[in-house]
Every structure is written in C-alpha cells, then in structure tokens.
Amino acid sequence: MLCQECNERQATVHLTQIMGDKMTKRDLCEVCGKEFVDAAKSNGRVSLDTIGSNPTEMLLSIIVASDPRYAKDAYLFVQEGLTRTLKMYWEPGKPGHISGAQLLDGLRELAIESFGKRAKATLNAWGIFKCEDFGEIIFNLVEAGLLAKQEKDTKADFQGGYEFDAAFPS
C-alpha cells in the first residue's frame, strides 16, 4: 500500500484517529510519518486522541517513524528485557526501579539466551551496535510515554557499559 501523503513510498505507519463519532485512518511512509510526528511534537503532543486497538504498537510505529535508527523489534526486545530485569532486581515493598547497568546486564543475558551466537548480529540488524543505543531506545520510550524515568536517570547511564564483541561472542 502506498503512502497516502506522497503516493510514492510504501506505507509503514498506520494511524487511526477517533474524534467524537468520526474515525480517520492515515497510511504513511516513514518519511511522511516522521513529518507527522514532528508536527505533533511542535504542538506539544505526540499521541493521538485514540490510537487504534493496540496503542503500544501504534506508538512504537510512531517512534520508529520519528527515529528510524532502530527497528520496532529493538524496542520490543528492550521492553521485554526491562520487564525481565525488573523481575530479577525488584524487592517487594520497594519501588520498581533498576539502574542502567542492571538493565544492560539483563539485556545482554536476554540476547544471549534468545539468540545465542547470533545475538550481536540480531542486535546489529535492529540498529543496536553499542550500549548507548539501548539508552537511546529507553529515552525514546520515555519521551513517547511508554516508560517513566526518575529525575536522576540519564542517557549517560548507558555509556561505557560493555563492548559488544566481548559481550556477544560469535
């Protein structure tokens, strides 16, 4: 299906907006999708009033359209790794928060467990080449409202983690 905006590129971002009793659907390519998101951001809004039947999937499509460095699978992997790492470190009665270093360890373990010797190749295919990329993904999820952060959390928490060649032997 072609993009409804430019009619040139394949539509990969599919938006559904419901306002009152009127539903509008838009199928956009990554370029036009990014322009849509940039316009929404300049108005102080990223989310639509109602986002289809799966808001998380739609928000991930919007994130990928606005920052195409990382594949949607990279975001899904990081979300799965975050959930898993939280379970590993969470103590009942305490707030559910983990450090960047703890998350990096959890993501490394999940990648090796899920992909074995193809872990590095899989992450690279998704646009993840270093620990800082995990931080970029996390903060894109925070900006979209899919994750929350504490005031002291920064992208710098993901710098100087591990070297991918050593962490993911092939």
pLDDT of residue 52: 43
d(CA 137, CA 67) in angstroms, rounded, equals: 9
Of 70, 41, 39, whose CA–CA distance to 136 is shortest? 70
What is the structure's pLDDT at 138?
95
Bridge partners, residue 15, by sequence: 26
pLDDT digits (tens, 9 = 90+) for 33-90: 777 666 655 544 444 443 444 667 777 888 888 888 999 999 999 999 998 998 888 7
* Domain residue spans of the chain: 13-66, 72-167
Which residue's entry shows tokens 């103590």? 91
Q: 78-124: per-residue pLDDT in tens?
A: 999 998 998 888 777 666 678 899 999 999 999 999 999 999 999 99
* E strand or H helix at 27: strand 22-28
Which residue in this structure is represented by tokens 């992909």?
Answer: 115
Give the H/E segment covering residue 166: helix 164-167
pLDDT band of residue 17 (cuts 50, 70, 90) is: low
Residue 162: what pLDDT? 93
Q: Is 10 helix (H, G, I), strand (E, B) or coil?
A: strand
Tokens of 161: 């983690």
Phi, psi of 93 (to 5 degrees): 90, -5
Backbone angles phi, psi at 26, to 5 degrees: -135, 130
